[in-house]
């Protein structure tokens, strides 16, 4: 591979995978992290005062291709990832048609080969058509290259089928990721069930709807020995169930999203659909429990659940608005604010949750600056203030609660396999 050798000079190199947090130079050659080489042979990037970290990893994004490319596609989604400092992402299979067959995976892999500016891994469905009735061809999906299986956006309600899913996936060593939602408790629900839903007259979504499925999954993981990963954990109950399960060695894991750790249901007080998500923003006690879960390792990583919708789709009464927000371009500053500046996490701990740990969950070759690893690097200014605007977003959608808000921490350069893909606000 012929890419220009790069020396990133004088930055604070934070690489949790090698316990590294020091000011120094980083050498990239032939697409990998290399031993030092002569300065005159390379382009030099001045990183003084900046943080140099492994490229960020997000195991939960929606790129809407195929089927809803008016919202996003692999090209725009990966540009948003690059702008947010992500070099590896895992896209969800709830496309249209859904990824319940190898042909759709091949179609997406073509789009990735042609249009992606960062690395993209695919996932396959648990059930045919995501209908929750019968097993998807999980073995063929594995052959087509998926790194996990999930019906994200939906949740298998039939416990016997979920048991088979877990047993069958375990045979292929494929992690099962689950969107935990007992739908009998959430019919018509639009926000967290609590004081705010009561006051606003909106149908509440009890935390119990998540806790019940998390309990079910823990029990099934114990029974089948399958790795079951709980997506976008939002409740205190889920955190405490996971904590106890992990203590006795059950193969379960969990992720938290930037919005669930930073926002609460009170933001729905003005009925603004930009705050409508699935699972819903919960109350302060739940939010704090998620942060504690990240602190003690009960929750394994940060994942954005980047869920683009066009602004006209959200410009309706709250009841009719779609769920979800875009997240890739604001994740790093939001996590720095919530975890590092407000909750005492070290910079290295925050980066760990966004690099080594998510990569490890799905066994991805990413999230490290050790020698010989792919030269995936993010350079950011952890203090720089900026304001997201519609025009400034790389994503095709702008359903972000942080539009117009001042954020602290900005990505300056994103490097994928030694190639600069994003620099000074522009995709290269």
Partner 1 sequence: MKSEYEWTRRNLIGIENLTPEEVTFILDTAVSFKKTMGRSVKKLPSLRGKVVANLFLEPSTRTRVAFEVAANRLSADVLTVSGSSSSITKGETLRDTAQNIEALKADMIVIRHSAPGSPLYLSQLVDIPVVNAGDGAHEHPTQALLDCFTLREKIGSLEGKKVAILGDILFSRVARSNIWALRKLGAHVTLVGPSTLVPGTFESMGAEVSHDLRSALTDADAVMLLRIQHERQSQMHFPSLGEYTSLFGLNRERTSWLKPEAVIMHPGPLNRGVEIDSDLADSSRSVILDQVTNGIAVRMAVLYLCASADEWQKREAVL
305 is catalytic: yes
| CA-to-CA dists, residue 279 to 27, 115, 173, 199, 232, angstroms | 42, 30, 28, 20, 7
Question: Taking the complex as a whole, how short is the minimal distance between the CB of residue 268 and partner 1, in angstroms?
Answer: 9
188 binds partner 1 (CB under 8 A): no
Tally of CB atoms within 10 A around 415 = 27
152 binds Zn ion (CB under 5 A): yes
Token output for 424: 């000074």
Close Cβ partners of 299 (under 8 Å, ≥ 6 residues apart): 233, 239, 242, 254, 255, 256, 290, 293
Tally of CB atoms within 10 A around 199 = 9
Residue 70 per-residue DSSP state:
T
Question: Cβ closer to partner 1: 201 or 249?
Answer: 201
Tally of CB atoms within 10 A around 371 = 11
320 binds partner 1 (CB under 8 A): yes
315 binds partner 1 (CB under 8 A): yes
Residue of 100, 151, 300, 305 marked catalytic: 305
Token output for 362: 């799905």
| CA-to-CA dists, residue 249 to 65, 245, 291, 353, angstroms | 37, 6, 22, 21
55-63, 131-139, 318-326, 330-338 -> range binding partner 1 (CB under 8 A): 318-326
Strands 228-230 and 204-205, sheet pairing: unpaired
Question: Cβ closer to partner 1: 198 or 223?
Answer: 198
74-82, 126-134, 147-155, 190-198 -> range binding Zn ion (CB under 5 A): 147-155
Question: Cβ closer to partner 1: 22 or 317?
Answer: 317
Question: Cβ closer to Zn ion: 152 or 300?
Answer: 152
- Name which position in 23, 103, 171, 198 contacts partner 1 (CB under 8 A): 198
| CA-to-CA dists, residue 355 to 196, 251, 265, 338, angstroms | 35, 20, 29, 17
Question: Cβ closer to Zn ion: 220 or 230?
Answer: 230
- Name which position in 3, 318, 347, 427 contacts partner 1 (CB under 8 A): 318
Question: Taking the complex as a whole, how short is the minimal distance between the CB of residue 182 and Zn ion, in angstroms?
Answer: 14
Q: Which of residues 248-277 bind partner 1 (CB under 8 A)?
A: 270-271
Catalytically active residues, by annotation = 305
Contacting positions for partner 1 (CB under 8 A): 194-195, 198-202, 270-271, 315-320
């Amino acid at each position: 591979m012929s890419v220009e050798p790069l020396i990133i000079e004088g930055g604070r190199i934070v690489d949790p995978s090698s316990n590294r947090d020091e000011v120094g130079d980083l050498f990239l050659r032939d697409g990998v992290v290399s031993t030092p080489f002569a300065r005159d042979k390379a382009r030099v990037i001045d990183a003084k005062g900046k943080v140099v970290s492994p490229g960020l990893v997000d195991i939960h994004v929606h790129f809407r291709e195929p089927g809803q490319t008016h919202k996003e596609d692999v090209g725009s989604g990966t540009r948003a990832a690059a702008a947010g400092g992500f070099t590896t992402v895992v896209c969800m299979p709830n496309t249209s048609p859904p990824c319940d067959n190898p042909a759709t995976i091949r179609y997406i892999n073509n789009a990735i080969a042609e249009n992606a500016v960062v690395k993209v891994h695919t996932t396959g469905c648990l059930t045919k058509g995501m209908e929750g009735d019968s097993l998807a061809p999980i073995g063929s999906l594995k052959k087509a290259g998926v790194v996990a299986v999930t019906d994200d956006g939906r949740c298998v309600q039939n416990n016997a089928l979920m048991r088979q899913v877990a047993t069958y996936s375990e045979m292929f060593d494929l992690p099962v990721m689950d969107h935990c939602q007992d739908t009998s408790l959430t019919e018509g629900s639009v926000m967290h069930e609590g004081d705010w839903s009561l006051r606003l007259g909106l149908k509440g979504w009890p935390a119990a709807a998540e806790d019940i499925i998390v309990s079910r999954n823990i029990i099934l993981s114990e029974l089948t020995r399958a790795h079951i990963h709980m997506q976008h954990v939002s409740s205190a109950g889920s955190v405490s169930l996971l904590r106890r399960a992990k203590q006795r060695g059950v193969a379960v894991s969990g992720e938290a999203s930037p919005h669930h750790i930073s926002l609460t249901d009170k933001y729905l007080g003005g009925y603004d659909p930009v705050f409508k998500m699935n699972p819903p923003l919960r109350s302060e006690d739940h939010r704090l429990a998620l942060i504690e879960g990240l602190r003690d390792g009960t929750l394994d990583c940060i994942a954005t659940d980047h869920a683009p919708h066009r602004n006209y789709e959200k410009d309706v009464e709250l009841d009719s608005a779609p769920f979800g927000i875009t997240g890739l371009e604001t994740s790093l500053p939001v996590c720095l604010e919530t975890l590092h500046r407000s909750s005492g996490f070290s910079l290295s701990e925050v980066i760990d949750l966004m690099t080594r740990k998510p990569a490890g969950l799905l066994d991805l070759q990413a999230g490290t600056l050790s020698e010989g690893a792919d030269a995936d690097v993010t350079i950011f200014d952890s203090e720089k203030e900026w304001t997201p605007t519609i025009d400034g977003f790389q994503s095709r959608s702008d359903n972000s609660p942080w539009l117009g808000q001042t954020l602290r921490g900005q990505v300056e350069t994103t490097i994928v396999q030694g190639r600069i893909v994003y620099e000074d606000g522009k995709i290269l």
